[in-house]
Structure 1
Amino acid sequence: MDPNLLYWKSQGQSFLSRVRIWFNLLDPSLLLCSDAQIQGARSLIGGGEDSEKDAAAQTLALSSVHADSGAVLPLVFRPPALMPVAAPLVVASFLPHSSVKPALIWQLLLQSYNAGFNYANRNSSSEQSKTASLKQLLLIAGTVSYATCAGALPQIFINRLGVRSAPVQTFFRSILPIPLSAALAFFSVSTIRIEETETGIQVFDSHGSPVGISKAAGEKAVRETALSRAALFGTTAAVPNLLIFLLNRTRLFQRNSLLVAPLRHISIALILGLMIPVSFSLFPQLGTIKKETLEEELQAAAADGHLFYHRGL
């Protein structure tokens, strides 16, 4: 089992411990480290010592190295890059645009980045090739295209239907984006990582030894990750809108309507930043699957009643 997964097995089995770990791993300053430094940090971990130097190396390896391939993740798709890159895209995507074109452009950028992040951080334990197949590339392109058009639907409805009613505009701009954002985030993970459900992923026994490939574990890993991503984007869409709705009823904001726009932008970025470690922590990175759920040929290996699998991110 990879040293990163061994760490999650010993340290990341409770929700609060995972949140604490992810707050450290999402430090943007980790992006400044070179590939050589990352590989050096990876070579240091697993020695059994608990020095401050080893702790820093462990943090760098966890935030920058793929737990299946052992390769350094692309810079913009490392977990610490999610907040700096995605925040402006999310804020711009939730803006009340005046036409369809800017809504489509910002949705295209956001959905493209989401697809790249989902693919780079997938479970690749059963893959024979390190390069994406033509089928996978077409699937990514189709997912991005569909999610882009679907994400711009509120603006498309407003423009094509000529909506002028304030309550109807509020529905399309503030209410519809909440379930839509959650659904599209769930859809993106489910489709980009569908190969894991079709071919399966590697499972491990309690000693960390690989025992086989399980489709059931692949389905569970993809479903959990999709739910966590839906929680991330659904909450990011819901909380700022609720906050603006409540503040608009106060005298201060009724007299100073110009405060609404900057507060909306700040609250979206703030909620996104808070929800990233929370959503990453909803399910363990090293998940467990019960013996009864496994394929028959793998049940004998589950001596403790379950096996472990890497969930991906």
Structure 2
Amino acid sequence: MDANLQFWKSEGKTFPQRFYHWVEILDPLLLLKSRKEIESSRALLPTNEPDITESLQNKKIKAAWKLSLASVNPATGDTILAAFRPPAFLPLTAPLAFGVLLPHKGGKQAFFWQCLFHTYTGAFSLAHGNHTQNTKEFLPKEMLLSMGAILYCASMGAFPHFIMTRYQVQSPSMQVLLKKIIPGPLLAIMCAFNVLVIRGTELESGIEIMDSKGCVVGVSQNAGEKAVKETALSRAVMVGATACIPDIVLHCLKRTKFLVRNPFVWGPLRSIMMVSILGLMIPVSFSWIPPLGTIQRSLIEPEIISSTEETEFFYNRGL
């Protein structure tokens, strides 16, 4: 079991624990560290559960844990490209999300922003997925499916804008429906779909599962399905909350004297709220479901459990 997964096994048993650690891991300054510094930090990490808890009292080793958790894919042990590491997620998705949720003048502009958003989030999902020997065989198919998923998600996301401009919708109720109500939930659904397709090879070929000692006991399709569905759900909640909550709050506040007297504040206030909620929802999304997933013996394929007496198995959920 990779050191990062050992960390979550020891220090990620409750949501508050995980949330506290993710707030520290998402420090953008960690993106400035070199590959050599990451490798040096990994060499300092203990692997025994009691030692992990004790090591967090040491500032140097605690910093090494943060850097490792922020930079390395625990399924492969590979260093992730800086643009797709967790600390880069907020700085890069915030402007993209802002562009996606703007009131666009036409379908082409909306499609462009949707493409950018789903391309980045799809690449992020791929960088944090499970890549076993079996899934590497699907690389050409994976790339083709990823491109198709991005184009489909972008097209569906731009569809309300296309309807508005193509049919010159004038009805106030239809404008509210197409501009305010549909885009947020639709974006959340498309984000979940994006994860399901881009990490679809994990559904087809399975992912590695480990016993309580961290030894790989097999490759399970059921565990792969559970990991991908959990990640898709957490992504949908994160994006859906970011898209919907600002509009709901502003709808409740739109008749206040301040906003009535200062309508120019509406746009900046919505942007500030959106970035703030996204900044909160990222660690919530990463923490809500444990990065080190568990699956019971009864849900594992018979050919795997026939070789072990373990009752619970572990897997890397990904992000």
TM-score by length of 1: 0.96
* Distance (whole Å) between structure 2 residues aligned to residue 2 and residue 19 of structure 1: 21
SS of corresponding position for 1:152 = helix
Q: Tell me by how many angstroms 1:164 deviates.
A: 2.0
Cα distance in 2 for residues equivalent to 1:165 and 1:256: 26
Change in CA separation of 1:271 and 1:52 when aligned onto 2, cut-off 3 Å = same
Amino acid in the other structure paired with 1:45:
L
String of CA shifts for 1:270-310, please: whole Å, max 9, x gaps: 11110000011111111110111110122245634211111
Where 2:217 maps in the other structure, the secondary structure is strand
What secondary structure, in the 3-state scheme, does the structure 1 residue paired with 2:208 have? strand
Aligned residue number for residue 227 of structure 2: 221
Q: 1:304 to 1:40 in 2, by over 3 A?
A: same
Q: Is the 8 A contact 2:138 2:201 kept in 1?
A: no
Task: Specify whether residues 233 and 216 from structure 1 end up closer, same or farther in structure 2 by C-alpha distance, changes over 3 A only.
Answer: same
Task: Output the amino acid matched with 2:38.
Answer: I
| Farther-moved stretch of structure 1 (166-175 vs 183-192) | 166-175
Amino acid at match of 2:219: I
3-state SS of the aligned residue for 2:288? coil
Once residues 164 and 89 of structure 1 are traced to their aligned partners in structure 2, the CA distance between those partners, rounded to angstroms, is: 28
Secondary structure of the residue aligned to 1:212 is: strand
Which position in structure 2 is the counterpart of 1:125?
132
- Could you tell me how far apart the structure 2 residues matched to 1:153 and 1:17 are? 41
8 A Cα contact 2:243 2:274, kept in partner: yes
Partner of 1:33: 33
CA contact (8 A) 1:126 1:200 kept: no
Structure 1, gaps ≥5 residues long: none
Is 1:68 the counterpart of 2:75 in the alignment?
yes
Preserved CA contact (<8 Å) 1:185 1:229? yes
**TM-score normalised to the size of structure 2?**
0.94
Report if the CA contact (8 A) 2:202-2:225 is conserved: yes
Pairwise CA distance, 1:36: 1.0
Structure-2 residue corresponding to 1:44:
44
2:156 to 150, 155, 159: 150
Q: Deviations over 1:7-45 (max 9, x none)?
A: 110111211111111111111111111111111111111
Select 1:138's aligned residue among 137, 144, 151.
144
Residues of 2 paired with 1:269 and 1:293: CA distance? 39
Work out the percentage of aligned pairs sharing the same amino acid.
42
Distance 1:214 1:161, change over 3 A: same
CA separation in 2, counterparts of 1:229 and 1:302?
34
| CA deviations over 1:64-106 (Å, ceiling 9, x no partner) | 0110211110111000000000000001110111122221111
Number of residues of Structure 1 aligned to a counterpart in Structure 2 = 312
Amino acid at match of 1:271: I
Unaligned runs of 5+ in 2: none
Other structure's SS at 1:58 match: helix
Q: Where does residue 230 of structure 1 map in the other structure?
A: 236
Partner amino acid, structure 2, of 1:75: A
Q: CA RMSD in A?
A: 1.5
- Contact kept in structure 2, 1:185 and 1:226, CA below 8 Å: yes
Letter of the structure 1 residue corresponding to residue 94 of structure 2: A
Is the 1:4–1:67 contact (alpha carbons within 8 Å) kept by the matching residues of 2?
yes
How far apart, in 1, do the equivalents of 2:307 and 2:139 lie?
A: 32
- Which whole-Å deviations, capped at 9, do the CAs of 1:217-238 have from their partners, x for residues lacking one? 0000001000000001111111
Quote the Cα distance in structure 1 between the aligned partners of 2:190 and 2:207.
24
Shift in alpha-carbon separation, 1:301–1:226, aligned structure 2, 3 A: farther
1:164-179 matches, cutoff 5 A? 164-179=170-185
Correspondence list, 1:1-313, <5 A: 1-46=1-46, 48=51, 50=55, 51-127=58-134, 129=136, 133-300=139-306, 303-313=309-319
